[in-house]
A = this chain, B = another copy of it.
Amino acid sequence: MTAPLHFYFDFISPYGFFASQRIEALAARHGREVHWHAMLLGVSVLKVMGLKPLMDTPLKGDYTGRDVLRTARETGISLGRQPRDPVMNPLPSARAFAWVRKHHPEQAAAMAHAIYGAYWGEGRDLSTPESLVGLNLPGGLAGETLAQAAAGNEAATLLRADVDEALSAGVFGSPTVLVDGEMFWGFDKLDQLDRWLVRGGW
C-alpha cells in the first residue's frame, strides 16, 4: 500500500479551492488516498514568515486577482466570489473541519468540499459558527452540531494542533501536497506532482 497524499489547504485560498477539485482524481490515478489537513495562512504567512497578505502585496495582489479569474476560466471551475471580495474569518470553518476530521474522519473530504463549495463556489458568508448551519453537509452530520462544535474549545484546540503540525512539516502555503517526504506548493505545481508520482522521484 503506497502512502497517502497529504493535502493542506486554507478555506480562504482560491488556489486551495481549485486544487480541492483536482486532488482526488490525481491521487486516484496513482493508487493513492488523500488525507485532508486545514492550515491557516494567517499563521504561516503573517506570523511565521513575516510577510503580508497576498492580496495586500503591491503588484502581486493585482497579478493574483487576474490569475485566479483566468485559472477559473481555464479549469471551468466557477467562482461565486471575486478575488478582491472581503476575506472571511477562516476560523469557524477551519475549526469545524478539524472537529469533523477528528470525530468523523470518513467525512473529512466531503466536509472540505461542502465548505469550499459554499464559500468559493457559491460566495456564501461563513464567518460565524452559525453560518455553518446551512451548509450542504455530508450524511450523518447535523448543521446545529457542527455550529456548536465550531464555537467550542475542543475544535479550537484541534485546529491549533493541526496548524502546528503543518508548520512543523514545513507547510507555508495553500495548497500544499506532501507525499513520500516531498513537498509541492501551489495549484500550478500539481502537474509536476503528477509527473513525480509517475516516476517516483528524480
Contact = CB atoms under 8 A, between A and B. Distances in A.
Interface size class of A (residues with CB under 8 A): 20 to 34
B49 A60 contact: yes
B50 A58 contact: yes
Nearest to A189: B188
Contacts of A182: 70
Contact of A74 (B48, B71, B172, B192): B192
Contacts of A71: 192
A66 B70 CA distance: 29
A66 B183 contact: yes
B51 A170 contact: no
Contacts of A191: 188, 191
Interface in A30-60: 44, 48-52, 57-60
